[in-house]
């Protein structure tokens, strides 16, 4: 007899189980990478089905604490966590499908990699399900530790080792801030449970407000570090660049979503006080993040580094959504979630396609290497262009709708200056995104290097992402019952509302 | 979901373009398909034109919700002003295709089709976000066509025009979003539809000024209005013929159209207040670009400047705040598109046959290619504004309008038109007529296709010049509506 509470935890269970099974399986030499990947995919798909089942059955907005007598509100399952789990599991599935070609070409990758991969997914899902600071820390560290190893998995390449080590040291340092912040908050309020902290923070008599703000600030520092916001962005370029491309894609798209998921919950439910305190400071953080990210992106010659640097700029856009939360609530939160999805798709597509292109050789890394690429691989060039356009926020892509929501929210909440700064950053981004399109289409390439052909799983998946990006940009209720922009927004709103009924 | 005729006009070329892109079709067949598409569109537009009732109402409207959460509508419609531009596009594009018949690749035709979709979409949009959508979307095929098929330093020119126009449109985007938010604060629900946005009444003067500036910047760059013209020269001289044709004869006009369609109804007070500035800016542009054109040796660059010079005059017309000026401006949009478009096609041919762009190196074309010369002459006379051509009617009306606005401005504009046009004859004499011994033996006269392509333009230039009322009556109620209802001017 399976209890109802257990059904709620099935998605987490499947991913965790998959990680352990893969760990055991990886001891058998006979298992190939492809088989390992398929096994991982099976568990992810099971988790996805369980998660969709949870979301589809019952109310549109739900919130439960499974096994409350055991976990005591440490873990929460609501529409919000369900929605983010969809993003995370989908991100993991897509990363494996896209990266498989790459993993198979590099002999250092073994089946253990997928075990680590599932552990990291488990950590991220745990993070968005966490309703308590220590649990969140556990989730964050499970995900981070797995990533440290995944980054350095190709151990014959020095850059990988360097990136892994750098991330390990800096990431642990950032983690310490989180712990210290938790301790402060516990000192101020006597609890680490989200929701109760919020209630306590309003009680000015018994709560030490200063301590609470310092604690909250420290936790925010950890998150600003993880999402590569200014002034904690310097590690990103070297670490992301040093990581294998599929892992970079995974970190930039999926890991970021998980962190934003948790910090959204924390900010919305708990940190009214800190939010007010931080909103002004955040404006400067955003402006500097946008400015510095744009600067970094403009000066890069390597495509991968440009994409990484531009992900800093996208972090800036996302943070703009945060400043609108106080004034707007629902629509600001849903704009953040929508932008996350938009960025998730575009970044995964861009990184994924480049990783596919470079999986056979290591030649195509700079802009110049893509000269005349459209002649050799017209469809790949077209897809890459779609991703660039979406990242730049050109109409008819999902990136435009995402920017539309974020900017409208900023203006609506009175932060027109931020909207203008963001527009200027967008303007600069046209340069580095369009440069790739120009290079691919406007030059003739003298020699044909070996680019993998457009067949197999990875290109198919990438093509689907490209179609999804266009659909997200123009789609509406044209096709009945097919989710379009409005559907994503409604879902995001439902997940926001589920935060308040727990 | 039902689609009206306007949707078909927008999306049919786009559909054909993508079909051609995906299917393994040769460049030749792509061209045939593109030409066929343009003829179909011409027929559809003719149906629209003749069914258009002579009132100032928005007609052929289509209205669907697009993004419900923010009240973005897929909302289309045309009035008299858009109608004549639409008709213009429908006539110009097949003519141009006949001229571009040989030696183009598949990508070229696909880009042309996409540009056509973008242009018509921009023209029909009655929702600000939808308008932005097409306005920005139109840029991509332009980017492609210049970058892939241009000459000279094409990559740099492409990046330059892209950066320029996107700078303008992004500030327009901010203004649009701000208006949407203002509407929401004003009425409690979201809408970006033009008919809703015009009702906003809670903006302060400072806010309005900034928003006005945001819109005007985008349109001024597109037109281009002095001093936002620095992209012009390079882009025009490095673009392929088809690209420069569309840029000069249609896309530049969309900047003017945007002012009339959006800036005028949303900011009627500011429109009137800043009218003197733009009238003088237009006249200054007319003179400045006229002088700049006179000094060009490269014939394409000369036309680029002469085109900008006339666009300045169009801007003068639409800001003259009276029926003469505005009707004249609408008329000049048509006249100028035909004449300049025709000239760019003719020059493109000359460049293709001879490989020469410099005026002093040309000469004696008239002997080698008499038919070419005749058409060249007709276009030229329209540009100069000789009585009997549509150029004359439109320039005359704008001068009248400017007189009505401000006699001093009227005098200056009348004189300036003469100055700005004189260089055209000089060029004609040097490059085409004079027998100065330059080797132009490579020049061949027009083929049958090219003559067929050029005939409608030449015919309309003269027909509109002799009997302009054919064309006035469709647009007159609309202009009246703009002046009396929107700007609240009675004269």
Q: What is the pLDDT of residue A43?
A: 92
Burial class of residue B151 in the structure, from the number of CB atoms within 10 Å of its CB (0-12 exposed, 13-18 middle, 19+ buried): middle
Residues of chain B contacting A423 with CB distance shorter than 8 Å: 170-171, 173-174
Closest CA in chain B for residue A412 = B181
CB burial readout A135-168, b (16+ within 10 A) else e = bbbbbbbbbbbbbbebbbbbeebeebeebbebbb
CA distance A452 to A274: 51
CA distance A276 to A217: 12
User: Whats the size of chain A, residue-wise?
Assistant: 502
B174 to chain A, minimum CA–CA distance in Å?
7
B136 to chain A, minimum CA–CA distance in Å?
7
Of the candidates A218, A68, A192, the residue with the CA atom closest to the CA atom of residue A200: A192
A383 to chain B, minimum CA–CA distance in Å?
13
Among B21, B69, B175, most A C-beta atoms within 10 A, so best to mutate, is: B69
User: What does the pLDDT look like over A243-266, one tens digit per residue?
Assistant: 888 898 898 889 989 999 888 888
Tokens (6 digits) for B357 = 């762009």
Per mean pLDDT, which range of A278-282, A422-426, B462-466 is the poorest?
Answer: A278-282
- Work out the average pLDDT over A24-43: 87
Residue B121 contacts residue B91 (beta carbons within 8 Å): no
Among B62, B67, B167, B187, most A C-beta atoms within 10 A, so best to mutate, is: B67
Q: What is the pLDDT of residue B490?
A: 63
Interface membership of A478 toward B (CB under 8 Å): yes
Give DSSP secondary structure letters for B218-256: HHHHHTTPTTS-TTHHHHHHHS-HHHHHHIIIIIHHHHH
Residues of chain B contacting A435 with CB distance shorter than 8 Å: 159
Interface membership of A379 toward B (CB under 8 Å): no
Tokens (6 digits) for B76 = 């289309």
Say which residue, A280 or B283, is predicted with more confidence. Answer: B283
Q: Residue ranges of chain B with pLDDT lower than 50?
A: 1
Q: What is the pLDDT of residue B483?
A: 82
Q: Is the predicted pLDDT of residue A480 greater than 50, yes or no?
A: no
CA distance B376 to B366: 10
Q: What is the pLDDT of residue A217?
A: 86
Tokens (6 digits) for A80 = 């919000």
User: What does the pLDDT look like over A13-33, one tens digit per residue?
Assistant: 899 999 999 889 888 888 888
Residues of chain A contacting B162 with CB distance shorter than 8 Å: 430, 434
Among B134, B156, B171, B177, most A C-beta atoms within 10 A, so best to mutate, is: B177
Interface of B with A (CB under 8 A): 1, 64-70, 74, 129, 132-134, 136-137, 140, 143-144, 147-148, 154-155, 158-159, 162-163, 166-167, 170-171, 173-174, 177-178, 180-181, 184
Q: Is the predicted pLDDT of residue A123 greater than 60, yes or no?
A: yes
Determine what percent of chain A is predicted with pLDDT higher than 90.
19
Interface membership of A485 toward B (CB under 8 Å): yes
Q: What is the pLDDT of residue A425?
A: 92
CA distances from B1 to A301, A480, B69, B124, B217 (A): 47, 10, 20, 19, 37
Q: Is the predicted pLDDT of residue A321 greater than 70, yes or no?
A: yes
Closest CA in chain B for residue A405 = B70
User: What does the pLDDT look like over A444-463, one tens digit per residue?
Assistant: 766 656 667 777 788 888 88
Q: Residue A364 — pLDDT band, cuts 50, 70, 90?
A: low
CA distance B140 to B145: 9
Residue B25 contacts residue B43 (beta carbons within 8 Å): no
CA distance B293 to B426: 11
When the pLDDT of each residue in chain A is averaged and rounded to a whole number, the result is 84
Residues of chain A contacting B148 with CB distance shorter than 8 Å: 441-442
Q: What is the pLDDT of residue A273?
A: 63
Judged by CB atoms closer than 8 Å, whether chains meet at A411 and B129 is answered as no
Question: Look-up: residue for tokens 């929501």?
Answer: A405
Q: What is the pLDDT of residue A294?
A: 92
For chain B, what are the domain ranges? 274-491
CA distance B442 to B437: 14
Residue B138 contacts residue A406 (beta carbons within 8 Å): no
CA distance B233 to B237: 6
CA distance B309 to A228: 50
Q: Residue A126 — pLDDT band, cuts 50, 70, 90?
A: very high
Judged by CB atoms closer than 8 Å, whether chains meet at B155 and A438 is answered as yes
CA distances from A125 to A144, A171, A249, B14 (A): 13, 19, 18, 42
DSSP code at position A369:
G
């Amino acid at each position: 007899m399976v209890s109802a509470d257990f059904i709620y935890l099935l998605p987490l269970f499947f991913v965790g189980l998959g990680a352990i099974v893969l760990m055991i399986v990886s001891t058998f030499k006979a298992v190939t990478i492809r088989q390992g990947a398929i096994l991982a995919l099976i568990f992810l798909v099971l988790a996805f089905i369980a998660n969709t089942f949870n979301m589809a059955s019952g109310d549109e907005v739900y919130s439960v604490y499974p096994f409350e007598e055991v976990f005591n509100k440490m873990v929460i399952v609501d529409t919000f966590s369900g929605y983010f789990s969809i993003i995370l599991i989908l991100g993991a599935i897509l990363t494996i499908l896209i990266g498989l070609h790459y993993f198979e070409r590099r002999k250092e990758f073994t089946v253990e990699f997928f075990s680590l991969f599932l552990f990291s997914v488990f950590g991220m899902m745990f993070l968005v399900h966490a309703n308590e600071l220590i649990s969140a820390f556990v989730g964050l560290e499970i995900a981070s530790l797995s990533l440290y190893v995944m980054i350095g998995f190709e151990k014959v390449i020095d850059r990988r080792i360097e990136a892994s080590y750098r991330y390990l040291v800096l990431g642990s340092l950032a983690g310490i801030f989180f712990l210290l912040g938790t301790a402060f908050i516990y000192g101020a309020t006597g609890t680490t449970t989200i929701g109760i902290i919020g209630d306590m923070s309003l009680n000015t008599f018994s709560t030490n407000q200063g301590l609470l703000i310092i604690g909250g600030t420290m936790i925010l520092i950890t998150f600003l570090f993880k999402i590569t916001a200014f002034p904690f962005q310097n590690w990103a370029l070297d670490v992301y660049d040093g990581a294998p491309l599929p892992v970079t894609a995974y970190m930039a798209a999926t890991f970021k979503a998980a962190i934003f998921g948790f910090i959204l919950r924390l900010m919305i439910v708990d940190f009214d006080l800190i939010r007010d305190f931080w909103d002004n400071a955040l404006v400067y953080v955003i402006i500097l993040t946008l400015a510095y990210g744009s600067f970094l992106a403009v000066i890069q010659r390597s495509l991968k580094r440009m994409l990484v640097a531009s992900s800093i700029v996208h972090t800036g856009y996302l943070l703009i959504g945060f400043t609108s939360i106080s004034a707007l609530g629902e629509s600001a939160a849903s704009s953040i979630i929508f932008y996350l999805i938009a960025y998730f798709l575009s970044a995964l597509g861009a990184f994924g396609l480049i990783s596919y292109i470079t999986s056979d050789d290591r030649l195509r890394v700079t802009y110049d290497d893509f000269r005349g690429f459209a002649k050799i691989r017209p469809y790949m060039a077209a897809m890459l262009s779609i991703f660039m356009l979406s990242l730049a926020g050109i109409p008819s892509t999902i990136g435009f709708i995402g920017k539309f929501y974020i900017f409208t929210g900023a203006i609506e909440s009175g932060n027109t200056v931020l909207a203008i700064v963001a527009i200027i950053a967008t303007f600069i981004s046209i340069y580095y995104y369009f440069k790739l399109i120009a290079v691919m289409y406007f030059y003739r390439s003298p020699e044909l290097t070996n680019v993998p052909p457009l067949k197999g799983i990875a290109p198919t998946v990438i093509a689907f992402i490209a179609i999804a990006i266009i659909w997200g940009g123009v789609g509406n209720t044209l096709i009945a019952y097919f989710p379009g922009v409005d559907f994503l927004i409604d879902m995001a709103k439902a997940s926001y509302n589920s935060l308040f009924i727990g | 979901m039902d689609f009206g005729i306007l949707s078909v006009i927008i999306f049919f070329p786009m559909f054909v373009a993508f079909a051609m892109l995906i299917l393994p079709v040769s460049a030749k067949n792509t061209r045939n398909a593109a030409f066929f598409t343009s003829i179909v569109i011409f027929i559809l537009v003719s149906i629209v034109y003749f069914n258009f009732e002579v009132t100032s109402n928005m007609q052929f409207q289509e209205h669907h919700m697009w993004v419900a959460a923010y009240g973005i509508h897929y909302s289309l419609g045309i009035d008299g002003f858009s109608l004549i531009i639409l008709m213009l596009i429908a006539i110009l594009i097949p003519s141009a295709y006949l001229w571009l018949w040989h030696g183009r690749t598949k990508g070229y035709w696909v880009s042309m089709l996409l540009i056509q979709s973008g242009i018509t979409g921009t023209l029909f949009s009655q929702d600000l976000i939808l308008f932005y959508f097409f306005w920005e979307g139109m840029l991509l095929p332009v980017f492609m066509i210049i970058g892939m098929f241009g000459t000279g330093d094409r990559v740099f020119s492409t990046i330059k025009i892209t950066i320029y126009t996107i700078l303008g449109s992004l500030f327009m985007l901010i203004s649009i979003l701000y208006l949407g938010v203002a509407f929401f604060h004003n009425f409690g629900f979201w809408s970006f539809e033009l008919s809703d946005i015009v009702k906003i009444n809670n903006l302060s003067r400072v806010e309005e000024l900034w928003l006005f500036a945001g819109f005007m910047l985008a349109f001024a760059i597109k037109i281009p209005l002095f001093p936002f013209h620095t992209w012009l020269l390079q882009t025009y001289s490095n673009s392929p013929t088809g690209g420069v044709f569309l840029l000069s004869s249609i896309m530049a006009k969309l900047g003017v159209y945007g002012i009339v369609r959006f800036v005028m109804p949303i900011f009627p007070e500011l429109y009137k207040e800043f009218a003197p500035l733009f009238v003088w800016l237009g006249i200054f542009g007319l003179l400045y670009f006229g002088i700049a054109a006179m000094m060009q040796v490269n014939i394409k660059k000369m036309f680029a400047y002469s085109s900008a010079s006339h666009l300045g005059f169009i801007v003068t017309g639409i800001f003259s705040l009276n029926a003469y000026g505005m009707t004249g401006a609408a008329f000049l949009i048509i006249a100028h598109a035909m004449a300049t478009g025709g000239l760019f096609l003719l020059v493109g041919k000359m460049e293709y046959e001879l490989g020469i762009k410099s005026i002093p190196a040309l000469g004696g074309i008239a002997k080698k290619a008499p038919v070419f010369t005749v058409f060249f002459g007709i276009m030229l006379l329209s540009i100069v504004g000789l009585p009997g051509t549509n150029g004359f009617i439109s320039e005359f009306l704008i001068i009248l309008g400017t007189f009505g606005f401000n006699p001093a401005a009227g005098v200056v504009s009348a004189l300036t038109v003469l100055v700005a046009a004189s260089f055209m004859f000089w060029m004609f004499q040097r490059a085409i007529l004079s027998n100065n011994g330059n080797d132009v033996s490579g020049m061949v006269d027009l083929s049958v296709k090219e003559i067929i392509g050029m005939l409608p333009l030449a015919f309309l230039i003269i027909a509109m010049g002799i009997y302009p009322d054919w064309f006035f009556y469709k647009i007159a109620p609309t202009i009246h509506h703009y002046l009396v209802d929107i700007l609240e001017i009675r004269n």
